[in-house]
Amino acid sequence: MDNELGKILIIDDDEDVLIAAKLLLKKHAKEVIIEKNPKKIPFLMNNGTYDVILLDMNFSKDITSGKEGYYWLEQILDADPSAVVVLITAFGDVEMAVKALKEGATDFVLKPWQNEKLIATLSTAVKLKRSYAEVDKLKSAKKQLEDEISKPFKDIIGNSPAMKNVFSIIDKVAGTDANVLILGENGTGKELVARALHQRSLRKDNVFVGVDMGAITETLFESELFGHKKGAFTDAKEDRVGRFEVANGGSLFLDEIGNLSLPLQSKLLTAIQRREVTKIGSNKSMPIDIRLICATNMPLYDMVHENTFRQDLLYRINTVEVHLPPLRERQDDIILLTEHFVKVYCDKYRKDRKKVASSTMKKLQKYSWPGNIRELQHAIERAIIMSEGNTLMPDDFFFLVQKQDSGNETAENFNLDEVEKNVILKAVNKHSGNISKAAKELGLTRASLYRRLEKHGL
Ligand SMILES: Nc1ncnc2c1ncn2[C@@H]1O[C@H](COP(=O)(O)OP(=O)(O)OP(=O)(O)O)[C@@H](O)[C@H]1O
């Protein structure tokens, strides 16, 4: 026999009822526990969990008020609010049973019961309990997913004219459904701006779904974006919901859009133009209501000239453009961002708030930040972890080594200072920022290498 009913607890002061029920139900359950004395209920509830509890309504002989039944029902639900309790009531007590349903019982059976009816009632009750558990699980998964995809909007820091312009565009465009194209080098905050647009839009209570187009393979593109039906291809073991569908009602952020091949560009264009998608293996299209935000670090306009990016797709996605300037062009923002990240990482690593020496700030402002804000963020995190003093000194950022323009290397330069600076840079680079090894190679002590690094603002 199957164990469909799981673990059952039966409480009834009539021993005959207990034995008859146990005999009947043990064929359908994993375990049947019987109890004559309701006072044991708290103990039983403390020491086990049950898929379903069968509870008598009237314990003391000749008393049919059901008061005891209500009392024990309350005790059970107190101990386990998700308990599934089926009441056993005498014929004529239906009114009482209905009242118990309002108090939280799942169902009731009338004594004497019909075997099949009892099994069916318990089976439905157990399924109900499992579906409650499933709903709870899904709710928590949904919450986690929402937290993940709608990560709290973090402030965008910046006071430079370029960033003020970005803020003003965000303010103007966020509330509209206009497609937005965000352009900027790696780590300039494109995703942050995309999330800010979503958080300030009318769609903010719906999801923000990000897709890294650079990470999607040619073969999985359609399945990933539009979904597929079970059996549509060999590996399609289950139906899959595409990102367009997940984002329905919210915002879809297509990152690294410049990395899409021409055939995929046209598939994407068709979906955007028609505002509908068709799952692989389905012949029905589905309307999609999304706000589209795209981003790239690639020169899309040049790519259009070189015929590597479709002009019609560019004009679909660039209703409004946001240009995020590289960090090296936002000197003042370097100060603000540095102070911000110092605070963030001192808090994170439970260190006293560190100061930043003005020579350090100068060094950070002089550096070219090829990885932009992401690189600054990581540099500060690293310095906070490693530094021992209360003030961050230029040495705490010894690993920031300016890459030389290869064009300059061939040009002859006899300026002694420049030559020294370049040789030092090459040595530090060669040893991946290891000052001891670089000093050894240069024939200097560590202290004098540090002095020279400082002299050159490195
Ligand atoms: N103006 C800013 N203020 C505060 N933090 C910022 C700012 N700009 C970027 N950041 C932080 O820098 C990191 C990189 O930002 P983000 O991922 O948005 O850049 P991106 O341009 O999308 O990068 P990629 O091109 O590599 O995808 C993130 O941790 C982000 O929170």
Q: Are residues 372 and 340 in the same domain?
A: yes
Mutating to test ligand 1, I would choose from 332, 335, 374, 377 the residue with most ligand atoms within 8 A of its C-beta, which is 374
Residue 196 included in any domain: yes
Tell me the mean pLDDT in the region 140-164: 73
Query: Residue 314: its pLDDT value, please?
Result: 97
What's the number of domains the chain is made of?
Answer: 3
What is each CA distance from 300 to 23, 226, 297, 418, 431, in whole angstroms? 75, 24, 9, 37, 37
Residue 151 included in any domain: no
Q: Is the CB of 258 under 6 A from ligand 1?
A: no
Residue 154 included in any domain: no
What is each CA distance from 3 to 25, 27, 30, 33, 161, in whole angstroms? 10, 8, 5, 14, 70
**CB within 8 A of 131, min separation 6: which ones?**
none
* Span 370-382, pLDDT tens digits: 999 999 999 999 9
**CB within 8 A of 176, min separation 6: which ones?**
none
> Which residues lie across from 7 on neighbouring strands?
31
Q: Are residues 22 and 129 in the same domain?
A: yes
> Which residues lie across from 364 on neighbouring strands?
none
Q: Are residues 125 and 179 in the same domain?
A: no
Residue 146 included in any domain: no
Query: Residue 352: its pLDDT value, please?
Result: 92
- Rounded to the nearest angstrom, the distance between the alpha carbon of 304 and the centre of ligand 1 is 26
Q: Are residues 402 and 443 in the same domain?
A: yes
Residue 108 included in any domain: yes
Reading the block at residue 437, the tokens are 């090894």
Query: Residue 410: its pLDDT value, please?
Result: 44
ipTM here: 0.98
Which helix (H) or strand (E) segment holds residue 253: the answer is strand 251-255
CA–CA separation, 159 vs 336, rounded Å?
A: 8
Reading the block at residue 449, the tokens are 């290498």
Q: Are residues 272 and 412 in the same domain?
A: no
Query: Residue 339: its pLDDT value, please?
Result: 95
Mutating to test ligand 1, I would choose from 165, 167, 191 the residue with most ligand atoms within 8 A of its C-beta, which is 191
Compare 58 and 355 and report the one with higher pLDDT: 355
Q: Which domain holds residue 63?
A: 7-138
Q: Are residues 203 and 291 in the same domain?
A: yes
Residue 1 included in any domain: no
Mean of the per-residue pLDDT values for the chain? 87
User: Which of the residue ranges 64-73, 115-124, 175-184, 207-216 would you say has the lowest mean pLDDT?
Assistant: 64-73
Q: Are residues 288 and 179 in the same domain?
A: yes
C-alpha neighbours within 13 Å on the C-beta side of residue 328:
9
User: Which of the residue ranges 117-131, 227-241, 289-303 would you say has the lowest mean pLDDT?
Assistant: 227-241
- Rounded to the nearest angstrom, the distance between the alpha carbon of 457 and the centre of ligand 1 is 26
Q: Is the CB of 338 under 6 A from ligand 1?
A: no
Number of Cβ atoms within 10 Å of the Cβ of 120: 12
Q: Are residues 66 and 207 in the same domain?
A: no
Residue 43, pLDDT > 50, answer yes
- 3-state per-residue secondary structure call for 327-368: HHHCHHHHHHHHHHHHHHHHHHCCCCCCEECHHHHHHHHHCC
Compare 443 and 259 and report the one with higher pLDDT: 259
Domain of residue 348, CATH code: 1.10.8.60
